[in-house]
Amino acid sequence: MKDILTAPFVEEMKRTTANMYRLGWDERNGGNISMLLDTEEVAQYLDVDAVIRTIPLGFDAYPLADRIFIVTGTGKYFKNVEFDPENNLGIVRISSNGLDAHLLWGFSDGGRFTSEFPAHLMSHIARLDVDPENRVIMHCHPTHTLAMNYVHELDERKFTHTLWEMCTECIVVFPDGIGVLPWMLCGTNSIGESTACKMREFRLVVWGMHGIYGAGRNMDEAFVLIETVEKAAQIYMLTAHLPRINTIKDNELAELAEFFGVNYRKDFLDL
């Protein structure tokens, strides 16, 4: 078998977590990522039937039975993933009854997956129903997006509209808008269920006064969705206290979306 440390999905997790940490999105052990893997690809690096140990999930993930994921660990720092992936990452297969995760590799210090993994799996289930190619769920705490939570209404239409106005590219990058949840206790099935419900409509969900969830077909797509939101939020925070002289008008936003052929939320504009 090939060396698991050379696997593209391990390398991708190393690069992405390092980028997110250096951008200041994932302080300490804040944030988490999970990615659905192709079983045949994983089998080039691991015996997918060799279970190291079994970890209860705490909810029924039966729609994902026998699927394999790479996921960040609980209490692990993103800054350490690139130097010690076997300790900070894990590869797990969801059990055939959907109630447990079978550890195939990683968490070498006896750790386990992030406490948000059940919430991730709920969002994976929701996104796969919408788009069977969606494979990545990403959660982080981008600074300006979080700051915006404290000075802007947490209304998904208004929040989305404000961000669309900040950068010409925004309505093209996330035309489906941004779902918004109020502050909720993290690490619970309740917030996972609420996020998954939003994920059926949006690829981005803001957790009020906490952070953001993003979904994508691959790591790059999930990352750049959040990156674009964060850039727009930064511009908003730099300008919100100043008189607004210029803005992108709603008819111009519609013109943008239609020119680039994206299916945008027309109900989020005043046309």
Contact 190, 217 (CB under 8 A): no
> Tokens 């008819």 belong to which residue?
251
pLDDT in tens, 191-201: 999 999 999 99
What is the structure's pLDDT at 232? 98
Catalytic residue set: 116
Q: Strand order in 100-106's β-sheet?
A: 53-56, 100-106, 89-94, 68-72, 32-37, 136-140, 211-216, 204-207, 179-181
Counting residues of the chain whose pLDDT is more than 90, the rounded percentage is 99
What is the structure's pLDDT at 1? 86
Q: Please give the Cα distance from 104 to 98 (Å, whole number).
A: 16
Q: Please give the Cα distance from 225 to 215 (Å, whole number).
A: 8
What is the structure's pLDDT at 214? 98
Q: pTM for this structure?
A: 0.96
**pLDDT, mean of residues 4-29:** 97
pLDDT in tens, 137-186: 999 999 999 999 999 999 999 999 999 999 999 999 999 999 999 999 99
Domains of the chain, start order:
1-115 (3.40.225.10), 116-271 (3.40.225.10)
What is the structure's pLDDT at 239? 97
Would you state the structure tokens that stand for residue 223, as one six-digit string?
A: 């990352």
Q: Please give the Cα distance from 156 to 183 (Å, whole number).
A: 14
